Amino acid sequence: MGRVLQVRVSAWTFDLAEVEKRWPRLMALGFTPPVLLKQERGVLELVDNLVDRLGMGVLPQPAQNMLAEPLRRAGDARARLTAALAEWNAKAANIATDDIEEALDEAEHEAGKLKSVPGLD
């Protein structure tokens, strides 16, 4: 890298509306109050919020139990993505993004079995 020009490898959500459309129940669970900071509502922010809420035990029951496994997998894939980007390993980063989306798809499917989801009801 140069002294002025830097190279960064990153991942970001291309279409925020697609996140709302693909995972509406998870978006409601991940971004209902309290939300401490105004933030983008992309895939990575969704994973971070859901994993944090799972860890703090503040997801509503039975979502806390039903979504635990896929959200843990999403969080693990998020960590792998961060590591892969830091190592400039595009292949591993791509695998991690696929794993994140698959885990979120599974969590959304499970969330569809909930009787109510705060923010959607």
For 62-109, the pLDDT digits (tens) are: 999 999 999 999 999 999 999 999 999 999 999 999 999 999 999 999
Q: Would you say residue 39 has pLDDT above 90?
A: no
pLDDT at 1 (0 to 100): 64
CA torsion angle 61 67 69 74 (round to 10) = -130
pLDDT band at 34 (very low <50, low <70, confident <90, very high): low
Tell me what the pLDDT averaged over the chain comes to.
Answer: 91
The pTM is what? 0.91
CB 10, CB 85: distance < 8 Å: yes
The number of beta carbons lying within 10 Å of the beta carbon of residue 58 is 12
From CA 54, how far away is CA 101, in angstroms rounded? 18
